[in-house]
Amino acid sequence: MELHEILSRCDHTLLRQDCTAAEIRRACDEGLRFGCASVCIPPAHVAGAKRYVGDRLPICTVIGFPNGYATGAVKAYEAADAIAHGADEVDMVVNLGMVKDAAWGDVLADIQAVRRASEGKILKVIIETCLLTEEEKLLLCGIVSASGADFIKTSTGFSTGGATFEDVELLRAHCDAKVKVKASGGIATLEDAERFIALGADRLGTSRIVKLALAAEAQAQD
């Protein structure tokens, strides 16, 4: 797979707690330069990023991030506020306490509250696979499929692990065909990125692929 094809599936990500407006603009520049699917940034930076890029690059942000334990009403407000300030896509974290309580109706309601608030925009649901049992992953495939969300996403990148090949394969096999898969967290090489795509990931959440592209450009200029 060509590098530009991989980059076109990347949500170029900058979610570090202390990232500055200048760093966000640089991430936007990189996302534009390499034709990324979006730039994924903290909610507080959405308005500034939207002013900076306009409609040239989709703006993605995170909701209930990274822990997921805000109420559904709060997450819905976060999503609506982000969209009002220019977000084109929102990546929400499920309530993992509800998952561990097997309160599946509440998990669905939590996602649907954000779905209603984000209608017309892309919604990705982060299930934090590293904290789940196999049974919980399978049940969440069904719940996300029923919720109306557009994507199921492996990880925040802020917990004990990121995307694995096994998890991406499982999510693709057990979600409805209309639900796409986003692999996120720890994607460090082009080989890994290509394998995630081959296993069924439509999107990759990563900053490293752009860094590899920049390094390749620098090497070519030497």
Q: Count structural domains, the chain.
A: 1
| Rounded percentage of the chain residues whose pLDDT exceeds 70 | 100
- Output the domain CATH number for residue 36: 3.20.20.70
Check: CB of residue 115 under 8 Å from CB of residue 79: no
Check: CB of residue 80 under 8 Å from CB of residue 55: no
**Which ranges in the chain belong to alpha helices (H)?**
3-7, 21-33, 46-53, 72-84, 96-100, 104-117, 134-147, 165-174, 190-198, 208-221
Tell me: the pLDDT tens digits for 64-104? 999 999 999 999 999 999 999 999 999 999 999 999 999 99
| Rounded percentage of the chain residues whose pLDDT exceeds 90 | 96
Looking at residues 193-209, what average pLDDT do you find?
Answer: 97
Tell whether the model's pLDDT for residue 178 goes beyond 80: yes
Q: At 203, phi and psi to the nearest 5?
A: -130, 155
Distance from C-alpha of 90 to C-alpha of 130, rounded to nearest angstrom? 21
The pLDDT value given to residue 216: 85
Tell whether the model's pLDDT for residue 221 goes beyond 90: no
Average pLDDT over the chain reads: 97
The pLDDT value given to residue 57: 98
Residue that wins the pLDDT comparison between 83 and 218: 83
Active-site residue list: 91, 153, 182
Of 30, 89, 97, 27, residue with least CA distance to 60: 89
Tell me: the pLDDT tens digits for 27-57? 999 999 999 999 999 999 999 999 999 999 9
Cα 174 to Cα 1, 50, 124, 171, 222, distances in angstroms? 25, 35, 16, 5, 47
Tell whether the model's pLDDT for residue 222 goes beyond 90: no
The pLDDT value given to residue 94: 98
Exposed/middle/buried for residue 209 (C-beta within 10 Å: 0-12, 13-18, 19+): buried
Tell whether the model's pLDDT for residue 26 goes beyond 90: yes
- Which residues, in sequence order, are CB contacts of 52 under 8 Å at separation 6+? 24, 25, 28
Tell me: the pLDDT tens digits for 144-167? 999 999 999 999 999 999 999 999
Give me the residues paired with residue 122 across strands.
89
Predicted confidence band of residue 136 (pLDDT cuts 50, 70, 90): very high
Tell whether the model's pLDDT for residue 174 goes beyond 80: yes
CB atoms within 10 A of CB 219: 8
Distance from C-alpha of 29 to C-alpha of 204, rounded to nearest angstrom? 18
The pLDDT value given to residue 46: 98
The pLDDT value given to residue 219: 84
Of 212, 160, 192, 177, residue with least CA distance to 12: 212
Q: Which range marks the domain in which residue 122 is found?
A: 3-221
